Chain A
Amino acid sequence: MAAKSIISRPVYGTLSLQPGKHHLFIADAEGALAIADLAAKAPADFFGGAHVIFIPGRDGKYADVLEALKPAQFYLGHSFASALPRLKQTLANAHMGLRLYLAGTEGLIGQAMHAALEAGIDHTSIQTEHRGSLARRMQCVHCKGITENVTTQPATCSHCGLLLLVRDHYSRRLAAFQGVCINAEDRSEIPPIEEVFR
Protein backbone atom coordinates (compact mmCIF):
# COMPACT_ATOMS: atom_id res chain seq x y z
CA MET A 1 0.00 0.00 0.00
CA ALA A 2 1.25 3.49 -0.81
CA ALA A 3 1.69 5.87 2.12
CA LYS A 4 -0.80 8.72 2.83
CA SER A 5 0.03 11.63 0.63
CA ILE A 6 -1.24 14.82 -0.97
CA ILE A 7 -4.74 15.22 -2.40
CA SER A 8 -3.93 14.86 -6.11
CA ARG A 9 -2.37 11.46 -5.38
CA PRO A 10 -4.83 8.71 -6.32
CA VAL A 11 -6.30 6.57 -3.58
CA TYR A 12 -6.79 2.89 -4.37
CA GLY A 13 -9.21 0.51 -2.75
CA THR A 14 -9.93 -3.20 -2.85
CA LEU A 15 -11.73 -4.67 -5.84
CA SER A 16 -15.32 -5.51 -4.98
CA LEU A 17 -18.05 -7.23 -6.98
CA GLN A 18 -20.28 -4.82 -8.86
CA PRO A 19 -23.79 -5.62 -10.06
CA GLY A 20 -24.09 -6.01 -13.82
CA LYS A 21 -23.61 -8.39 -16.71
CA HIS A 22 -20.45 -7.04 -18.34
CA HIS A 23 -17.17 -6.84 -16.45
CA LEU A 24 -13.84 -5.64 -17.85
CA PHE A 25 -10.68 -6.40 -15.89
CA ILE A 26 -7.30 -4.84 -16.67
CA ALA A 27 -4.34 -5.94 -14.60
CA ASP A 28 -0.60 -6.33 -14.63
CA ALA A 29 1.77 -8.57 -12.62
CA GLU A 30 0.57 -9.05 -9.01
CA GLY A 31 -2.70 -7.35 -9.96
CA ALA A 32 -3.80 -10.83 -11.07
CA LEU A 33 -3.94 -11.82 -7.41
CA ALA A 34 -6.40 -9.03 -6.65
CA ILE A 35 -8.68 -10.46 -9.34
CA ALA A 36 -8.21 -13.97 -7.91
CA ASP A 37 -9.20 -12.70 -4.45
CA LEU A 38 -12.32 -11.13 -5.94
CA ALA A 39 -13.12 -14.34 -7.82
CA ALA A 40 -13.10 -16.29 -4.56
CA LYS A 41 -16.13 -14.24 -3.49
CA ALA A 42 -17.89 -14.21 -6.89
CA PRO A 43 -20.92 -16.28 -7.92
CA ALA A 44 -20.17 -19.25 -10.18
CA ASP A 45 -21.19 -17.64 -13.49
CA PHE A 46 -19.57 -14.26 -12.80
CA PHE A 47 -16.63 -14.59 -15.18
CA GLY A 48 -18.93 -15.84 -17.93
CA GLY A 49 -19.53 -12.13 -18.67
CA ALA A 50 -15.97 -10.97 -18.11
CA HIS A 51 -13.18 -9.77 -20.37
CA VAL A 52 -9.72 -9.94 -18.80
CA ILE A 53 -6.75 -8.00 -20.19
CA PHE A 54 -3.55 -9.04 -18.43
CA ILE A 55 0.03 -7.86 -18.82
CA PRO A 56 2.41 -10.11 -16.87
CA GLY A 57 5.45 -8.71 -15.08
CA ARG A 58 9.02 -9.58 -16.03
CA ASP A 59 8.72 -12.92 -14.25
CA GLY A 60 5.79 -13.88 -16.50
CA LYS A 61 3.77 -15.23 -13.59
CA TYR A 62 0.01 -15.42 -12.81
CA ALA A 63 -1.47 -15.75 -16.32
CA ASP A 64 -2.53 -19.29 -15.37
CA VAL A 65 -4.36 -17.98 -12.28
CA LEU A 66 -6.54 -15.78 -14.47
CA GLU A 67 -7.07 -18.32 -17.23
CA ALA A 68 -8.35 -20.76 -14.62
CA LEU A 69 -11.23 -18.32 -13.94
CA LYS A 70 -12.45 -19.09 -17.50
CA PRO A 71 -13.40 -15.54 -18.48
CA ALA A 72 -15.46 -15.09 -21.65
CA GLN A 73 -12.46 -13.31 -23.17
CA PHE A 74 -8.86 -13.52 -22.01
CA TYR A 75 -6.03 -11.48 -23.53
CA LEU A 76 -2.39 -11.71 -22.61
CA GLY A 77 -0.51 -8.53 -23.57
CA HIS A 78 3.22 -7.93 -23.91
CA SER A 79 2.95 -4.34 -22.68
CA PHE A 80 0.31 -1.75 -21.93
CA ALA A 81 1.04 -0.09 -25.27
CA SER A 82 0.31 -3.34 -27.15
CA ALA A 83 -2.93 -3.83 -25.20
CA LEU A 84 -4.14 -0.29 -25.72
CA PRO A 85 -5.78 -0.59 -29.19
CA ARG A 86 -7.81 -3.55 -27.93
CA LEU A 87 -8.73 -1.70 -24.76
CA LYS A 88 -9.84 1.39 -26.68
CA GLN A 89 -12.02 -0.67 -28.99
CA THR A 90 -13.56 -2.54 -26.06
CA LEU A 91 -14.41 0.74 -24.32
CA ALA A 92 -15.75 2.32 -27.50
CA ASN A 93 -18.08 -0.64 -28.14
CA ALA A 94 -19.11 -1.10 -24.52
CA HIS A 95 -22.76 -0.93 -23.51
CA MET A 96 -24.05 1.15 -20.64
CA GLY A 97 -23.43 -0.70 -17.42
CA LEU A 98 -19.96 -2.05 -18.21
CA ARG A 99 -18.06 -2.48 -14.95
CA LEU A 100 -14.38 -1.67 -14.95
CA TYR A 101 -11.82 -3.16 -12.56
CA LEU A 102 -8.13 -2.13 -12.58
CA ALA A 103 -5.47 -3.87 -10.53
CA GLY A 104 -1.70 -3.84 -10.33
CA THR A 105 0.93 -1.11 -10.58
CA GLU A 106 0.08 2.59 -10.44
CA GLY A 107 1.31 3.00 -14.00
CA LEU A 108 -1.13 0.36 -15.27
CA ILE A 109 -4.05 1.70 -13.25
CA GLY A 110 -3.34 5.28 -14.32
CA GLN A 111 -3.04 4.53 -18.03
CA ALA A 112 -6.09 2.26 -18.12
CA MET A 113 -8.07 4.86 -16.22
CA HIS A 114 -6.98 7.51 -18.69
CA ALA A 115 -8.31 5.42 -21.57
CA ALA A 116 -11.57 4.93 -19.64
CA LEU A 117 -11.93 8.67 -18.94
CA GLU A 118 -11.47 9.40 -22.64
CA ALA A 119 -14.29 6.94 -23.33
CA GLY A 120 -16.54 8.94 -21.00
CA ILE A 121 -16.45 6.72 -17.91
CA ASP A 122 -16.43 8.64 -14.62
CA HIS A 123 -13.30 7.90 -12.61
CA THR A 124 -15.24 7.48 -9.37
CA SER A 125 -17.17 4.52 -10.86
CA ILE A 126 -13.98 2.52 -11.54
CA GLN A 127 -12.78 -0.14 -9.11
CA THR A 128 -9.04 0.01 -8.45
CA GLU A 129 -6.62 -1.97 -6.34
CA HIS A 130 -2.91 -1.38 -6.10
CA ARG A 131 -0.75 -4.51 -5.97
CA GLY A 132 2.90 -5.14 -6.48
CA SER A 133 5.57 -2.63 -7.42
CA LEU A 134 5.39 1.02 -6.31
CA ALA A 135 7.25 2.04 -9.47
CA ARG A 136 5.97 5.33 -10.87
CA ARG A 137 5.19 6.69 -14.26
CA MET A 138 6.70 10.17 -14.35
CA GLN A 139 6.33 13.15 -16.66
CA CYS A 140 9.30 15.50 -16.89
CA VAL A 141 7.81 18.99 -16.50
CA HIS A 142 10.70 20.40 -18.54
CA CYS A 143 10.79 18.27 -21.71
CA LYS A 144 7.32 16.62 -21.23
CA GLY A 145 8.74 13.14 -21.85
CA ILE A 146 7.30 10.22 -19.85
CA THR A 147 9.66 7.88 -18.02
CA GLU A 148 8.15 4.50 -17.11
CA ASN A 149 8.89 2.37 -14.06
CA VAL A 150 10.69 4.97 -11.98
CA THR A 151 11.91 3.37 -8.75
CA THR A 152 14.42 5.94 -7.46
CA GLN A 153 14.27 9.33 -5.81
CA PRO A 154 15.55 11.44 -7.50
CA ALA A 155 15.29 9.91 -10.98
CA THR A 156 16.90 10.74 -14.30
CA CYS A 157 14.58 11.77 -17.14
CA SER A 158 15.02 9.16 -19.89
CA HIS A 159 14.50 11.89 -22.53
CA CYS A 160 16.39 15.07 -21.53
CA GLY A 161 18.65 13.61 -18.83
CA LEU A 162 17.83 16.14 -16.08
CA LEU A 163 17.87 14.77 -12.53
CA LEU A 164 14.28 15.03 -11.31
CA LEU A 165 12.54 15.13 -7.95
CA VAL A 166 9.61 12.71 -8.31
CA ARG A 167 6.72 14.58 -6.71
CA ASP A 168 3.51 13.12 -5.29
CA HIS A 169 1.59 15.58 -7.52
CA TYR A 170 -0.32 13.40 -9.98
CA SER A 171 -2.27 14.09 -13.17
CA ARG A 172 -5.03 11.66 -14.18
CA ARG A 173 -5.03 13.18 -17.65
CA LEU A 174 -1.35 12.29 -18.12
CA ALA A 175 -1.51 9.21 -15.86
CA ALA A 176 1.79 10.38 -14.42
CA PHE A 177 3.53 11.89 -11.44
CA GLN A 178 5.37 15.17 -11.94
CA GLY A 179 9.15 15.25 -12.12
CA VAL A 180 10.91 18.59 -11.47
CA CYS A 181 14.64 19.28 -11.72
CA ILE A 182 16.04 18.68 -8.23
CA ASN A 183 19.28 20.63 -8.62
CA ALA A 184 18.16 23.44 -10.92
CA GLU A 185 19.60 26.13 -8.67
CA ASP A 186 23.05 24.55 -8.55
CA ARG A 187 23.67 21.67 -10.96
CA SER A 188 26.80 20.63 -9.05
CA GLU A 189 24.65 19.49 -6.13
CA ILE A 190 23.98 15.79 -6.65
CA PRO A 191 21.75 14.43 -3.90
CA PRO A 192 21.95 10.71 -3.06
CA ILE A 193 19.81 8.54 -5.32
CA GLU A 194 17.75 6.06 -3.33
CA GLU A 195 15.54 3.18 -4.44
CA VAL A 196 12.24 4.19 -2.80
CA PHE A 197 9.46 3.10 -5.19
CA ARG A 198 9.94 -0.68 -5.15
Chain B
Amino acid sequence: MGITFRKETFRDDFTFRNSPEHIRRFPFPFHEDSYMYAVNIEPHVVGPKGSVLENLIDVDEHYVAEMQDRALVLAEDPLRCQSLPHMTLAGWDLLELLMEQQALGYPEHFTLTRDGDRWRWINRPLGIDDSFTFGDVSTLPYGPMEYITRQSQGDFCILDQRDGNLWMDAGMVTTQADWSLDFDIGMNFFEWHAPVPLAHEKGIFVRALKFLTNIQQGKPARRLNWTMTINPRLDTSPENYHKWGPDRATVTPENVGDKAHLRVELQSFWRLPRSNAIVFPIRCYLIKMDELVTQPKWARRLHRVIRDLPEELANYKGLTRYRPTLVEWLSRLDDGSPTSAGFGPD
Protein backbone atom coordinates (compact mmCIF):
# COMPACT_ATOMS: atom_id res chain seq x y z
CA MET B 1 0.00 0.00 0.00
CA GLY B 2 1.40 3.35 -0.99
CA ILE B 3 1.26 6.74 0.68
CA THR B 4 -1.87 8.83 0.14
CA PHE B 5 -0.47 12.21 -0.80
CA ARG B 6 -2.39 15.18 0.56
CA LYS B 7 -3.53 18.08 -1.60
CA GLU B 8 -2.57 21.09 0.49
CA THR B 9 -0.83 24.45 0.53
CA PHE B 10 1.96 26.08 2.54
CA ARG B 11 0.94 29.64 1.62
CA ASP B 12 -2.13 31.81 1.07
CA ASP B 13 -4.99 29.63 2.45
CA PHE B 14 -2.56 27.33 4.37
CA THR B 15 -4.49 24.06 4.06
CA PHE B 16 -1.53 21.98 5.35
CA ARG B 17 -2.57 19.42 8.01
CA ASN B 18 -1.11 16.23 9.49
CA SER B 19 -3.18 13.04 9.48
CA PRO B 20 -3.54 11.30 12.89
CA GLU B 21 -0.82 8.79 11.88
CA HIS B 22 1.52 11.64 10.96
CA ILE B 23 0.88 13.36 14.30
CA ARG B 24 2.01 10.20 16.10
CA ARG B 25 5.16 9.94 13.99
CA PHE B 26 6.11 13.61 14.38
CA PRO B 27 9.81 13.90 15.36
CA PHE B 28 9.26 15.70 18.67
CA PRO B 29 12.69 17.16 19.49
CA PHE B 30 12.71 17.40 23.29
CA HIS B 31 13.77 14.38 25.35
CA GLU B 32 13.48 16.33 28.61
CA ASP B 33 11.56 19.33 29.97
CA SER B 34 14.18 21.94 29.03
CA TYR B 35 16.33 22.84 26.04
CA MET B 36 19.88 24.05 25.49
CA TYR B 37 22.24 23.61 22.55
CA ALA B 38 24.24 20.43 22.47
CA VAL B 39 26.20 18.51 19.84
CA ASN B 40 23.30 16.09 19.67
CA ILE B 41 24.65 14.05 16.76
CA GLU B 42 24.02 10.31 16.48
CA PRO B 43 24.41 7.64 13.79
CA HIS B 44 21.68 7.92 11.13
CA VAL B 45 20.42 4.35 11.24
CA VAL B 46 17.00 2.98 10.43
CA GLY B 47 14.49 3.39 13.29
CA PRO B 48 11.13 1.83 14.24
CA LYS B 49 8.50 1.06 11.61
CA GLY B 50 5.99 3.88 11.39
CA SER B 51 8.51 6.51 12.55
CA VAL B 52 10.15 9.18 10.37
CA LEU B 53 13.30 7.04 10.64
CA GLU B 54 11.75 3.98 9.04
CA ASN B 55 13.71 5.00 5.94
CA LEU B 56 16.91 7.06 5.92
CA ILE B 57 15.36 9.43 3.37
CA ASP B 58 11.77 9.91 4.52
CA VAL B 59 8.94 10.47 2.05
CA ASP B 60 5.58 11.31 3.61
CA GLU B 61 2.03 12.40 2.85
CA HIS B 62 3.20 15.98 2.21
CA TYR B 63 5.62 15.02 -0.60
CA VAL B 64 3.67 16.18 -3.64
CA ALA B 65 2.48 19.42 -2.04
CA GLU B 66 6.00 20.25 -0.84
CA MET B 67 7.45 19.73 -4.30
CA GLN B 68 4.77 22.02 -5.76
CA ASP B 69 5.63 24.69 -3.17
CA ARG B 70 9.34 24.36 -4.03
CA ALA B 71 8.58 24.91 -7.72
CA LEU B 72 6.68 28.10 -6.83
CA VAL B 73 9.59 29.40 -4.73
CA LEU B 74 12.12 28.70 -7.50
CA ALA B 75 9.97 30.40 -10.12
CA GLU B 76 9.89 33.52 -7.93
CA ASP B 77 13.55 33.41 -6.88
CA PRO B 78 15.99 31.16 -8.78
CA LEU B 79 18.83 32.19 -6.41
CA ARG B 80 17.48 29.65 -3.87
CA CYS B 81 19.26 26.95 -5.86
CA GLN B 82 22.96 27.56 -6.50
CA SER B 83 26.01 25.43 -7.16
CA LEU B 84 29.55 26.76 -7.49
CA PRO B 85 31.32 25.46 -10.61
CA HIS B 86 33.44 22.82 -8.84
CA MET B 87 30.36 21.14 -7.27
CA THR B 88 28.80 19.37 -10.26
CA LEU B 89 30.31 15.99 -9.41
CA ALA B 90 28.88 16.25 -5.90
CA GLY B 91 25.51 16.97 -7.54
CA TRP B 92 25.70 13.63 -9.35
CA ASP B 93 26.63 11.93 -6.08
CA LEU B 94 23.53 13.43 -4.50
CA LEU B 95 21.32 12.40 -7.40
CA GLU B 96 22.49 8.82 -6.99
CA LEU B 97 21.97 8.85 -3.22
CA LEU B 98 18.43 10.24 -3.37
CA MET B 99 17.30 8.05 -6.24
CA GLU B 100 18.67 4.95 -4.53
CA GLN B 101 17.19 5.77 -1.13
CA GLN B 102 13.76 6.79 -2.42
CA ALA B 103 13.52 3.73 -4.68
CA LEU B 104 14.66 1.49 -1.80
CA GLY B 105 12.18 2.85 0.72
CA TYR B 106 9.18 3.39 -1.56
CA PRO B 107 9.34 0.96 -4.51
CA GLU B 108 5.65 1.53 -5.24
CA HIS B 109 6.36 5.21 -5.93
CA PHE B 110 9.93 5.33 -7.30
CA THR B 111 11.92 3.05 -9.61
CA LEU B 112 15.57 3.35 -10.62
CA THR B 113 17.01 1.07 -13.30
CA ARG B 114 20.65 1.21 -14.36
CA ASP B 115 22.49 -0.17 -17.34
CA GLY B 116 26.03 1.10 -16.93
CA ASP B 117 25.76 4.88 -17.06
CA ARG B 118 22.38 4.77 -18.81
CA TRP B 119 19.79 5.32 -16.09
CA ARG B 120 16.01 5.43 -16.03
CA TRP B 121 14.18 7.17 -13.19
CA ILE B 122 10.45 6.81 -12.63
CA ASN B 123 8.78 9.08 -10.08
CA ARG B 124 5.10 8.16 -10.09
CA PRO B 125 3.75 10.74 -7.61
CA LEU B 126 5.14 13.57 -9.78
CA GLY B 127 4.51 11.82 -13.11
CA ILE B 128 8.18 11.74 -14.17
CA ASP B 129 9.82 9.06 -16.33
CA ASP B 130 13.25 10.19 -17.54
CA SER B 131 16.11 8.31 -19.15
CA PHE B 132 19.53 9.96 -18.96
CA THR B 133 23.25 9.34 -18.97
CA PHE B 134 24.79 9.49 -15.52
CA GLY B 135 27.53 12.13 -15.52
CA ASP B 136 26.27 13.94 -18.65
CA VAL B 137 24.47 17.14 -17.63
CA SER B 138 23.13 17.67 -21.15
CA THR B 139 20.81 14.66 -20.71
CA LEU B 140 18.84 16.20 -17.80
CA PRO B 141 16.52 19.22 -17.83
CA TYR B 142 18.42 20.77 -14.87
CA GLY B 143 21.81 20.30 -13.25
CA PRO B 144 21.90 17.01 -11.29
CA MET B 145 21.47 18.63 -7.86
CA GLU B 146 18.55 20.79 -8.95
CA TYR B 147 16.94 17.91 -10.87
CA ILE B 148 16.82 15.52 -7.92
CA THR B 149 16.13 18.10 -5.21
CA ARG B 150 13.06 19.29 -7.09
CA GLN B 151 11.89 15.72 -6.35
CA SER B 152 13.04 15.31 -2.74
CA GLN B 153 11.56 16.75 0.45
CA GLY B 154 13.77 19.02 2.55
CA ASP B 155 16.53 21.49 1.85
CA PHE B 156 19.94 20.24 0.75
CA CYS B 157 23.34 21.80 1.34
CA ILE B 158 26.42 20.29 -0.26
CA LEU B 159 29.58 21.01 1.68
CA ASP B 160 32.99 20.80 0.03
CA GLN B 161 35.72 19.56 2.37
CA ARG B 162 39.14 21.22 2.13
CA ASP B 163 41.70 22.89 4.41
CA GLY B 164 40.21 21.03 7.39
CA ASN B 165 36.93 22.90 6.99
CA LEU B 166 33.55 22.49 5.28
CA TRP B 167 32.44 25.03 2.67
CA MET B 168 28.84 25.76 1.75
CA ASP B 169 29.41 25.54 -2.00
CA ALA B 170 26.06 24.27 -3.32
CA GLY B 171 22.49 24.01 -2.15
CA MET B 172 18.75 23.85 -2.77
CA VAL B 173 17.22 25.93 0.00
CA THR B 174 13.51 26.81 -0.20
CA THR B 175 12.16 25.69 3.20
CA GLN B 176 14.73 27.33 5.42
CA ALA B 177 14.42 28.68 8.92
CA ASP B 178 15.52 32.21 8.14
CA TRP B 179 18.97 31.87 6.57
CA SER B 180 20.03 32.84 3.07
CA LEU B 181 21.91 30.45 0.77
CA ASP B 182 22.57 33.32 -1.61
CA PHE B 183 24.37 35.22 1.16
CA ASP B 184 26.11 32.26 2.78
CA ILE B 185 27.26 30.35 -0.32
CA GLY B 186 31.06 30.00 -0.38
CA MET B 187 31.36 30.45 3.41
CA ASN B 188 33.09 27.97 5.70
CA PHE B 189 31.44 26.16 8.62
CA PHE B 190 32.25 28.81 11.21
CA GLU B 191 31.35 31.72 8.98
CA TRP B 192 27.87 30.58 8.02
CA HIS B 193 27.10 29.74 11.67
CA ALA B 194 28.47 33.11 12.81
CA PRO B 195 25.07 34.66 13.70
CA VAL B 196 24.04 31.78 16.02
CA PRO B 197 24.17 33.04 19.64
CA LEU B 198 25.81 31.22 22.58
CA ALA B 199 26.93 28.12 20.69
CA HIS B 200 30.36 29.42 19.60
CA GLU B 201 31.31 30.16 23.20
CA LYS B 202 30.33 26.63 24.18
CA GLY B 203 32.71 25.19 21.58
CA ILE B 204 29.77 23.53 19.81
CA PHE B 205 30.92 24.31 16.29
CA VAL B 206 34.54 23.25 16.81
CA ARG B 207 33.39 19.84 18.02
CA ALA B 208 30.68 19.53 15.38
CA LEU B 209 33.14 20.31 12.58
CA LYS B 210 35.58 17.73 13.89
CA PHE B 211 32.82 15.15 13.86
CA LEU B 212 31.51 16.08 10.41
CA THR B 213 34.88 16.12 8.64
CA ASN B 214 35.38 12.54 9.87
CA ILE B 215 32.09 11.17 8.54
CA GLN B 216 32.68 8.06 6.46
CA GLN B 217 30.91 6.82 3.40
CA GLY B 218 28.00 4.51 4.32
CA LYS B 219 27.88 5.83 7.89
CA PRO B 220 25.62 8.89 7.89
CA ALA B 221 24.81 10.84 11.06
CA ARG B 222 21.85 12.97 12.15
CA ARG B 223 20.61 15.53 14.63
CA LEU B 224 17.38 17.39 15.32
CA ASN B 225 16.98 21.15 15.43
CA TRP B 226 13.82 23.14 15.98
CA THR B 227 12.16 26.53 15.84
CA MET B 228 8.59 27.78 15.56
CA THR B 229 6.70 29.20 12.60
CA ILE B 230 3.43 31.08 12.43
CA ASN B 231 1.18 29.42 9.83
CA PRO B 232 2.43 26.26 8.09
CA ARG B 233 4.76 28.20 5.83
CA LEU B 234 7.71 26.32 4.37
CA ASP B 235 9.33 29.37 2.81
CA THR B 236 10.39 31.34 5.87
CA SER B 237 13.41 32.74 4.09
CA PRO B 238 15.07 36.02 5.04
CA GLU B 239 14.47 37.04 1.42
CA ASN B 240 10.72 37.07 2.13
CA TYR B 241 10.87 38.05 5.82
CA HIS B 242 9.11 41.33 5.10
CA LYS B 243 6.22 39.26 3.70
CA TRP B 244 5.90 36.58 6.41
CA GLY B 245 7.17 38.59 9.40
CA PRO B 246 3.77 40.29 9.95
CA ASP B 247 2.25 36.83 10.61
CA ARG B 248 3.99 36.89 14.00
CA ALA B 249 1.88 39.87 15.04
CA THR B 250 -1.39 38.04 14.27
CA VAL B 251 -1.24 35.51 17.11
CA THR B 252 -4.08 35.75 19.65
CA PRO B 253 -5.22 33.48 22.51
CA GLU B 254 -8.06 32.36 20.21
CA ASN B 255 -5.96 31.38 17.17
CA VAL B 256 -2.61 30.33 18.67
CA GLY B 257 -3.52 26.61 18.57
CA ASP B 258 -4.15 26.84 14.85
CA LYS B 259 -1.46 29.33 13.86
CA ALA B 260 1.60 28.44 15.93
CA HIS B 261 3.60 25.50 14.54
CA LEU B 262 6.53 23.63 15.95
CA ARG B 263 9.07 23.34 13.14
CA VAL B 264 11.54 20.48 13.48
CA GLU B 265 14.50 19.90 11.23
CA LEU B 266 15.83 16.40 10.84
CA GLN B 267 19.35 17.15 9.69
CA SER B 268 21.46 14.32 8.34
CA PHE B 269 25.05 14.21 7.12
CA TRP B 270 26.34 11.90 4.42
CA ARG B 271 29.76 11.45 2.83
CA LEU B 272 29.48 11.41 -0.96
CA PRO B 273 31.59 8.78 -2.73
CA ARG B 274 33.09 10.50 -5.80
CA SER B 275 33.44 14.11 -4.67
CA ASN B 276 34.26 13.46 -0.99
CA ALA B 277 31.78 16.25 -0.23
CA ILE B 278 29.25 16.06 2.62
CA VAL B 279 25.58 16.41 1.82
CA PHE B 280 23.48 17.89 4.54
CA PRO B 281 19.74 17.34 4.01
CA ILE B 282 17.60 19.53 6.27
CA ARG B 283 14.19 17.93 6.36
CA CYS B 284 11.48 20.16 7.81
CA TYR B 285 8.47 18.82 9.72
CA LEU B 286 5.63 21.11 10.77
CA ILE B 287 2.90 20.50 13.34
CA LYS B 288 0.33 22.97 14.62
CA MET B 289 -0.23 23.33 18.35
CA ASP B 290 -3.77 21.90 18.12
CA GLU B 291 -2.31 18.72 16.59
CA LEU B 292 0.69 18.52 18.91
CA VAL B 293 -1.34 18.78 22.12
CA THR B 294 -3.38 15.72 21.17
CA GLN B 295 -0.39 13.98 22.82
CA PRO B 296 -0.61 15.13 26.50
CA LYS B 297 3.05 14.44 27.24
CA TRP B 298 4.16 16.69 24.39
CA ALA B 299 1.81 19.47 25.54
CA ARG B 300 3.23 19.45 29.09
CA ARG B 301 6.82 19.28 27.91
CA LEU B 302 6.56 21.94 25.23
CA HIS B 303 4.99 24.29 27.78
CA ARG B 304 7.99 23.89 30.09
CA VAL B 305 10.55 24.22 27.28
CA ILE B 306 9.07 27.40 25.78
CA ARG B 307 8.42 28.97 29.19
CA ASP B 308 12.02 28.42 30.37
CA LEU B 309 13.85 29.15 27.11
CA PRO B 310 16.75 31.63 27.58
CA GLU B 311 15.91 35.07 26.23
CA GLU B 312 18.70 35.05 23.59
CA LEU B 313 17.43 31.79 22.14
CA ALA B 314 13.83 33.00 22.11
CA ASN B 315 14.95 36.13 20.24
CA TYR B 316 17.10 34.18 17.78
CA LYS B 317 14.23 31.82 17.04
CA GLY B 318 11.86 34.77 16.55
CA LEU B 319 9.45 33.77 19.36
CA THR B 320 9.59 36.99 21.35
CA ARG B 321 6.43 38.64 20.09
CA TYR B 322 4.05 35.74 20.69
CA ARG B 323 5.80 33.73 23.41
CA PRO B 324 3.60 35.02 26.29
CA THR B 325 0.41 34.13 24.39
CA LEU B 326 1.73 30.69 23.55
CA VAL B 327 2.98 29.93 27.07
CA GLU B 328 -0.34 31.01 28.59
CA TRP B 329 -2.26 28.78 26.16
CA LEU B 330 0.03 25.78 26.76
CA SER B 331 -0.01 26.27 30.55
CA ARG B 332 -3.67 25.26 30.64
CA LEU B 333 -2.63 21.85 29.29
CA ASP B 334 0.13 21.36 31.88
CA ASP B 335 -1.12 19.94 35.18
CA GLY B 336 2.44 19.81 36.51
CA SER B 337 2.64 16.03 36.47
CA PRO B 338 5.96 14.44 35.45
CA THR B 339 6.72 13.53 31.84
CA SER B 340 8.23 10.21 30.86
CA ALA B 341 11.79 10.06 29.54
CA GLY B 342 12.46 10.10 25.81
CA PHE B 343 10.98 11.84 22.76
CA GLY B 344 7.92 9.75 21.93
CA PRO B 345 4.31 10.25 22.98
CA ASP B 346 2.97 8.09 25.85
Contact = CB atoms under 8 A, between A and B. Distances in A.
A7 B184 CA distance: 13
B186 A180 contact: no
A144 B182 contact: yes
A178 B195 CA distance: 11
A184 B241 contact: yes
Interface stretch (B22-30, B221-229, B244-252, B329-337): B244-252
Given A141-B183, A169-B194, A173-B185, A185 B239 contact: no
Interface string B177-200: 000101111110011111100001
Contact of B194 (A6, A139, A162, A172): A6
21 contacts: A7-B190, A7-B191, A7-B194, A8-B187, A8-B194, A139-B183, A142-B240, A142-B242, A144-B79, A162-B242, A168-B195, A169-B183, A171-B184, A171-B187, A172-B186, A173-B185, A178-B238, A181-B241, A185-B248, A185-B249, A187-B246
Contacts of B182: 141, 144
A9 B191 CA distance: 8
B11 interface: no
A167 interface: yes
Interface string A130-173: 00000000010110100000000000000000100001110111
A174 interface: yes
Interface of A: 6-9, 139, 141-142, 144, 162, 167-169, 171-174, 178, 180-181, 184-187
A186 B249 contact: yes
Given A139-B183, A141-B180, A181 B242 contact: yes
Contacts of A167: 195
Contacts of B192: 8
Nearest to B195: A169
A7 B201 CA distance: 11
Interface of B: 79, 180, 182-187, 190-195, 200, 238-242, 245-246, 248-249, 321
Nearest to A176: B183
Contacts of A172: 186-187
Given A6-B200, A8-B194, A184-B245, 12 more contacts: A6-B194, A8-B192, A141-B182, A141-B238, A141-B241, A142-B238, A171-B184, A171-B186, A181-B241, A181-B242, A184-B242, A184-B246
B1 to A, nearest CB: 44
A185 B246 contact: yes
B200 A7 contact: yes
A57 B192 CA distance: 32
A180 B179 CA distance: 11
Contacts of B180: 141, 178
A173 B186 contact: yes
A142 B239 CA distance: 4
A167 B249 CA distance: 23
Contact of A142 (B190, B200, B241, B246): B241
A172 B194 CA distance: 13
Contacts of A174: 183
Contacts of A169: 183, 194-195
A154 to B, nearest CB: 13
Contacts of A162: 242
A8 B194 CA distance: 6
Contacts of A187: 246
Contacts of A171: 183-184, 186-187
B256 to A, nearest CB: 16
Contacts of B248: 185
A142 B193 CA distance: 20
Given A144-B182, A185-B321, A8 B191 contact: yes
Q: Which of B79, B195, B240: most chain A CB closer than 10 A?
A: B195
A8 B180 CA distance: 14
Contacts of B249: 185-186
B148 to A, nearest CB: 25
A185 B238 contact: no
A30 B88 CA distance: 43
Contacts of B185: 173
Contacts of A186: 246, 249
A181 to B, nearest CB: 4
A6 B193 CA distance: 9
- 8 A-B pairs closest in CB distance: A184-B245, A8-B194, A8-B191, A6-B194, A7-B194, A173-B186, A181-B242, A185-B245
